[in-house]
Amino acid sequence: MNDKHMSDRDLVQACLSGKVDAYQKIMERYSGKAMALALNMLRHREDAEDVCQEAFVKVFNNLDRYDPQQDFKNWFYTVLYRRCLDHMRKRKRFYSFMVKFRNEPDLEAALMRQGPARNPGLDPRLLEVLSPREKMTLILWANEGYTGEEIASVLRCSPSTARVNLYKARKKLKAMLEGEDVALQNG
Amino acid sequence: MWRCKMVDLLIRILPVSAWKDRLIQWHVPGCAACSEKLAAREEAMSVLVQERELVSVKDFWPVVNRRLRSGVEREAPPSRPAWQWVSVAAGLAVVILTSLWLNRAPFEEASADLTQKLQIDYIRIGDEPARAYVFQPKGVNMTLVWIEKDGEGE
């Protein structure tokens, strides 16, 4: 069978039987989507590339744990989302450390501003009001057309939680688009 | 309008997502005012990076392939020498803890002698006399000394 017409499950099976090159086909399918998702989450191109690379390695090393009953894309997005969260935590720790180390209170804000500046066209303030979980929910809903159930399978939460997160994300985004300051409402 | 405000308030304060979800499903789709407060899919897409907008996506395969073939990334099961180290460390820990426990009684006696000798004659805070309280809980090898300014709390 032509590799292009092979399903994700078939390609995973090929990988598990020792054909590492089959994984290249999987990566070709998901590199663009992964990059867009990571870029939306992290707003920094180099960070997004690092996270995508790590996610692809992680997924390959855990292919034997993949449940064929589950959608491969959703499983991959779960891994990618968790890598993004890890990266965000590390970045936050690094910024906090740098601020303490250099004793410059404004450094954190300056460093945080560097990320968005490298991605013109993306207004960082619009997504900044969303929590990582809300951001991921919004990305999956808007870019992938996911339903509450599908978002829940990626975020490993209940569909009702996913739908509530989506409601909050859409509401905050709308308020931001209309120029309202919802940052204070986050607390 | 009051119903919208009530729903909004309940969504904020209800503790269970399932209840919030039910409330949203019950009210929002049929309420034009609340629906208008939600960003449409197109609006969300306008602030998100789309796959088609990416001018070039890095080819991850060369690096990932190299890492996969090197096999370094695979988590190897703990080797026997590592387990030997763990068992030696655990054995040492048991020996140390046992010896500490055996020597516990003399240590308590010695410290009890020390606490019996504890005596506070006079304490001043900011050139003013202060009160001192000495607590010696029974059965605990510890003495607490609480000092406060004279007249404070009165």
DSSP string, A84-109: HHHHHHHHHHHHHHHHHHHT-TTHHH
Q: Which of A33-37, A177-181, B77-81, B131-135 has the lowest mean pLDDT?
A: B77-81
Q: Which residue of A has its CA nearest to B19?
A: A160
Q: Does domain A123-187 have CATH number 1.10.645.10?
A: no
Residue A173 is nearest to which of B39, B57, B60, comparing CB atoms? B39
Start-to-end C-alpha separation, chain B = 54
A119 or A179, higher pLDDT: A179
Of the candidates B39, B54, B59, which has its C-beta nearest A170's C-beta?
Answer: B39
The secondary structure of chain B as a DSSP string is: -HHHHHHHHHHHH-S-HHHHHHHHHHHGGG-HHHHHTS--HHHHHHHS--GGG-S-----HHHHHHHHHH-TTS-PPPPHHHHHHHHHHHHHHHHHHHHHHHTHHHHHHHHHHHHHT------EETTEEEEEEEE--TTSS--EEEEEETTTT-
Which CATH number applies to A1-121?
Answer: 1.10.1740.10
> Does any domain span residue B38?
yes
| B99 within some domain | no
Sorted by where each begins, the domain ranges of chain A are 1-121, 123-187
Task: Average the pLDDT over each of A49-53, A86-90, A153-157, B108-112 and give the range with the smallest value.
Answer: B108-112
Residue type at B114? Answer: L
Question: For position A182, what pLDDT does the model report?
Answer: 46
Residues of A in contact with B67 (CB under 8 A): 57
Assess A129–B contact: CB distance below 8 Å, yes or no. Answer: no
Cβ-based contacts of A121 with chain B (< 8 Å): 49, 53
B36: nearest CA partner in chain A: A174
- What total number of domains does chain B contain? 2
The dihedrals phi and psi of B23, each to the nearest 5 degrees, come to -65, -45
Closest CB to A127 among B47, B60, B63: B47
Q: Is residue B57 part of a domain?
A: no
**Highest-confidence segment of A76-80, A183-187, B113-117:** A76-80
Query: What is the rounded average pLDDT of the residues B18-33?
Result: 94
The chain-wide mean pLDDT, for chain B, equals 79
In a domain, B70, yes or no: no
A112 CB within 8 Å of a chain B CB: no
Lowest mean pLDDT segment, chosen from A63-67, A116-120, A172-176, B47-51: A116-120
Which residue in chain A has the smallest CA separation from B69? A20
Interface test with A, best of B11, B51, B66, B69 (most A CBs within 10 A): B51
Please check whether residue B39 lies inside any domain of the structure. Answer: yes
Mean pLDDT value across chain A:
83
Q: pLDDT (tens digit, 9 = 90+) per residue, A121-161?
A: 456 667 888 999 999 999 999 999 999 999 999 999 999 99
pLDDT digits (tens, 9 = 90+) for B68-100: 887 655 554 445 567 778 888 899 999 998 888
Q: pLDDT at position A115, please? A: 46
Q: Is residue A175 within 8 angstroms of chain B, CB to CB?
A: yes
Q: What is the pLDDT of residues A15-42, one digit of tens each?
A: 888 888 889 999 999 999 999 999 999 9
Domain around B136:
105-149
Per-residue confidence (pLDDT) for residue B110, from 0 to 100: 53
Beta bridge partners of A106: none
ipTM beyond cut 0.90: no
Chain B residues within an 8 Å CB radius of A179: none
Q: Classify residue B80: in a domain, yes or no.
A: no
Highest average pLDDT, of A8-22, B57-71, B103-117, comes from A8-22
Within a domain: residue B121? yes
Measured CA to CA, the distance from residue A95 to residue A110 in angstroms comes to 10
Q: In this structure, what are the phi and psi dihedrals at residue B144, rounded to the nearest 5 degrees?
A: -105, 135
Average pLDDT over residues B41-45: 93
Q: How far apart are the first and last CA of chain A?
A: 54
Confidence of residue B147 (pLDDT cuts 50, 70, 90): confident
The pLDDT of B23-50, averaged and rounded, is: 93
Q: Please check whether residue B73 lies inside any domain of the structure.
A: no
